[in-house]
A and B are shown apart, each in its own frame.
Chain A
């Protein structure tokens, strides 16, 4: 049974009281969204974060390029200073602190684990510097903030979120027959208005109905036409950093047909289209399958998915209900299936089971004391870079489909070497008293396993506390939950 705490959350702390009813404990956590447990000063909205993105973009592309036109060395130095001034290496570290505090210190670790699922579902991959300024805030404002609402709300808000519109190029999706498309400057500057299919395709393929729904290339183009005009207002001082809104001048006029349904021209088209997509049977099946895959097994059975789909249908895609159903299925299959955890969830389980005196994440006072304009110090920089080394930095997905939820994709010698290495790293995040505490591993093991004696016996064969850590957190019982 204790595996369940690792399956839907990150295990129990050595001194944490075991919940008497694990299922109720888990389900209650997804009903409401608590305040962030991170006590640092810098929790800014996605919009506030954009000013740093704008400063970097305009500073580099407009000012520095001009100023150092004939001086590549000067340009490089000025660029490096600009990166420090806008906190390019600081903000992702700060965001990871906020993100990981939810798993380690918050009251709702189950909600955190599902939050990570959704941030990966609505991935913004590592392009256009968004990872440095926007992805963390986007994941807070548009994903987590909507986890107590219907899927439709989350899908709509994620779709028209500024970073998503930038990421999937909808800013360049302009109706050829729109007012803007007919403007004289386009001919003069040879910049014809054209459809950009990127976002429309991913909205269907990755975010809602999946290719299983059987849409055609024509459907993609038609949905792209519906999406024309949703973009940030362009201005010299914002360079596309202003709010996303519907620009009628760039919207393709006329009716559009997606999956056989007619959509009128105008602002409402996209909102209705998203409503139709999220209510398509393929959408709930796709998401139910993905949730079960994330929590239970690579290949969920129809019996696993069915209760999640049912909860979706009965609640109109109300996410707390969908989550509760998925948690219940995970609970029922707890003994039968073990899922190899992705590196981030494994790391957080390792830290969480180890206890609370850890210096992880980097402390608030260190994060808050960092002044923009300087090179971030080791602890701040390490906050993010090791996740990259582990293979799953949460803001640096390489492609819009995010990280894989399949076990196979996390199995390789190098990835296992990382687990060994970072279990060791984890040990040295203890304070000295804990490092010397000989009973520490027994406490962890007794509180986290149904068969503590067997585990203890294995771990006791290691010579030092550091080695015990390496062994314990690389046991199949911890790697798979």
Chain B
């Protein structure tokens, strides 16, 4: 074995899914636009990632967990100094932030919250499909998509035949053996197993890790570069989904070298490495989602509790300009949600819907109606994204 357990864990901390192959297009006549979603699990602290230097209550309320020397973005907002990849995006005008935003969920359970951040609904566990899957379906992006990780996230469900990629050791058996299994699944009407076996049959040996290939294929740096390459293919998938775990820092959230920072850096690495495929990046929106933000005050263990409002990172060539888009609610006690959390003044689903409207060329109202159950959302497409 070439890899230590520690590296292996690092590799599994991020997962990547790619989906939604285009109908074959001629690259010369129409540009292929991509959407990349990075799911930040555990509750990302928007105030740690994007400190509000312009709010006079900020420093006082964040005592003990303030990040030193943040990168100043404008008069009001700054950036966590370790987010070097995003900093570049900001300064080349392809990085933006939406602040004081959240999905409309306030009950502070991770598992309900993550379910809703993926389903896009309001009642936990009610919907069995994800907002991205539903939008891909109405955009006619179906089938033969490739995803890059072990399980299929709820976010992508709702469009048939998503594939995934997360290479394992060894070599696949002979074609005939796979064909035999395929025919058994077909005869016993096992549709899902059949779809997957169809994908497996097409799997090439270089997509396995047998015969001297390295486990590095699975670390997030390489998964992100691989995603960039695949998204560059004019007939390749148009959607990629990553997962970063570990944002739930009830204890020892830490400062510049703490756990929260480590997770943010992982997110940043993904953005940085996606950017290496310049053409794909130029025609993409990268967007982060999380279940909630964290309390404004630290607890006794130098951590933070589950909160409400947080921030969304946007990057890619389809981002209109560098900006922090916010309707700032303030940090005075009465301005906080239930006196403890940053409030959310923008429904994060408005950002998701606007991004999908831009990338999938779908009417915003149609997304509102068919993807987000008719909930009233704000069309931010013109404010946040380029119209191409």
Residues of B within 8 A of A336 (CB): none
Question: Do A169 and B303 contact each other (CB < 8 Å), given the known contacts A196-B250, A416-B200?
Answer: yes
- What residues of B have a CB within 8 angstroms of the CB of A201 in the complex? 108-109, 306
A205 to B176, CA, bound (A): 48
For the complex, what is the distance from the CA of A413 to the CA of B162, rounded to whole Å? 9
Stretch at the interface among B47-55, B72-80, B190-198: B190-198
Is B45 close to A, CB under 8 A?
Answer: no
Contact B180–A461 (Cβ < 8 Å): yes
Whether the Cβ atoms of A211 and B177 lie closer than 8 Å is no
Residue contact A389 to B169, C-beta cutoff 8 Å? yes
Interface residues of A in 30-88 (CB under 8 A from B): 88
A401 at the interface (CB under 8 A from B): yes
Q: Scoring B residues 29 to 60 as 1 if CB is less than 8 Å from chain A, else 0, what string do you get?
A: 00000000000011000000000000000000
Contacts of B248 in A (CB 8 A): 198, 399
C-alpha gap A171/B199 in the complex (Å): 48
Residues of B within 8 A of A418 (CB): 168
Q: How far is the CA of A192 from the CA of B8 in the complex (A)?
A: 37
The stretch that binds A, out of B92-100, B135-143, B146-154, B362-370, is B146-154
Complex interface: stretch among B181-189, B271-279, B327-335, B380-388: B181-189
Q: In the assembly, what is the distance between CA of A476 and CA of B109, in Å?
A: 36
CA separation between A398 and B111, bound complex, in Å?
12
Asked whether A411 lies within 8 Å of B5 as measured between CB atoms, the reply is: no
- The answer on a CB contact under 8 Å between B150 and A415 is yes
Choice from A389, A399, A410 contacting B245 with Cβ under 8 Å: A399
Q: How long is the Cα–Cα vector from A420 to B178 in the complex, in angstroms?
A: 9
Say how far B48's CB is from chain A's closest CB, in angstroms.
18
A233 at interface, CB cutoff 8 A: no
- The reply to whether the CB of B258 lies closer than 8 angstroms to some CB of chain A is no
- A346, chain B: closest CB distance, angstroms: 13
Given the complex of chains A and B, what is the CA–CA distance between A409 and B15 in angstroms?
A: 14
- In the complex the two chains form, what is the Cα distance from A388 to B299 in whole Å? 34
* Residue in A174, A186, A409, A471 whose CB lies within 8 Å of B180: A471
Query: C-beta contact mask, B1-24 vs A, less than 8 Å → 1, else 0?
Result: 100010011001000000000000
When A190-B64, A401-B111, A471-B177 are in contact, do A413 and B196 touch as well, CB less than 8 Å? yes
Is A196 touching B303 in the complex (CB atoms < 8 A)? yes
Q: Is A475 an interface residue (CB 8 A)?
A: yes
Q: Is the interface of A mostly helix, strand, loop or mixed?
A: helix
Tell me, in angstroms, the Cα distance from A202 to B177 when the chains sit together. 46
Which of these binds chain B: A3-11, A134-142, A462-470? A462-470
In the complex, chain B residues whose CB is within 8 Å of the CB of A415: 150-151
B151 & A172 in contact (Cβ 8 Å cutoff): no
- The reply to whether A479 and B151 contact each other, CB–CB distance below 8 Å, is no
Residue contact A414 to B305, C-beta cutoff 8 Å: no
**B150-A412 in contact (CB<8A):** yes
- Closest Cβ–Cβ distance, residue B226 to chain A (whole Å): 14
Q: Is the CB of A417 within 8 A of B181?
A: no
One of B112, B181, B305 near A474 (C-beta < 8 A): B181
Q: Is B212 an interface residue (CB 8 A)?
A: no
The residue on B at minimum CB distance from A169 is B250
Distance of A126 Cα from B338 Cα, bound (Å): 32
| CA distance in complex: A462, B179 (Å) | 10
Indicate if B71 sits at the interface (CB-CB under 8 A).
no
Main secondary structure of the interface of B (DSSP, over half): loop
Chain B residues positioned under 8 Å from A411 (CB to CB): 151-152, 192, 196
User: Are A467 and B300 in contact, with the CB atoms below 8 A?
Assistant: no
Residues of A within 8 A of B197 (CB): 416
Number of residues of chain B lying within 8 A (CB) of chain A: 64
B172 at the interface (CB under 8 A from A): yes
Kindly provide the distance from the CB of B190 to the nearest chain A CB, expressed in whole angstroms.
5
Among A88, A401, A412, A476: residue with most chain B CB under 10 A: A412
The answer for the CA separation of A234 and B190 in the assembled complex, in Å, is: 56
- Contacting pair B176 A420 (CB below 8 A): no
> Could you tell me if B299 and A476 are in contact, using CB atoms closer than 8 angstroms?
no
Give the distance to chain A from B223, nearest Cβ to Cβ, in Å: 12
Q: How far is A337 from B172 in the complex, measured between Cα atoms in Å?
A: 31
User: Which of A195, A414, A461, A474 interacts with B165 by CB under 8 Å?
Assistant: A414
Contact A410 B111 (CB under 8 A): no
Kindly list chain B residues whose C-beta atoms are within 8 Å of the C-beta of A89. 5
Q: Which of B151-178 contact A (CB under 8 A)?
A: 151-152, 157, 162-166, 168-170, 172-174, 176-178
Using known A-B contacts A389-B169, A414-B166, determine if residue A476 contacts B184 with beta carbons closer than 8 Å: yes
Is A261 part of the binding interface, using a Cβ–Cβ cutoff of 8 Å? no
Query: Which B residue's beta carbon lies closest to that of A468?
Result: B177
Chain B residues closer than 8 Å to A171, beta-carbon distance: 251, 301
* A467 contacts B173, C-beta separation under 8 Å: yes
- Bound together, the chains give a CA A201 to CA B113 distance in angstroms of 13
Q: Contacts A196-B303, A420-B173: A391 and B150 contacting too (C-beta < 8 A)?
A: yes
Question: Distance (Å) between the CB of B24 and the closest chain A CB?
Answer: 21
Q: How far is the CA of A401 from the CA of B110 in the complex (A)?
A: 9
CB distance from A127 to the nearest CB of B (A): 8
Question: 27 A-B pairs, CB-CB below 8 angstroms?
Answer: A171-B301, A172-B300, A172-B301, A186-B300, A192-B300, A193-B300, A194-B299, A195-B299, A196-B251, A196-B301, A201-B109, A211-B107, A381-B1, A385-B5, A391-B151, A400-B110, A412-B164, A414-B164, A416-B193, A420-B172, A424-B170, A463-B176, A463-B177, A470-B173, A471-B180, A471-B181, A476-B185
Interface residues of B (CB under 8 A from A): 1, 5, 8-9, 12, 41-42, 63-64, 107-112, 124, 128, 147, 149-152, 157, 162-166, 168-170, 172-174, 176-178, 180-181, 184-185, 188, 190, 192-193, 196-197, 199-200, 203, 245, 248, 250-251, 297-303, 305-306, 338
Other than the given A186-B300, A198-B248, 11 more pairs (CB < 8 A) read: A174-B300, A190-B64, A194-B298, A194-B301, A201-B108, A415-B150, A417-B200, A418-B168, A420-B172, A421-B168, A471-B180
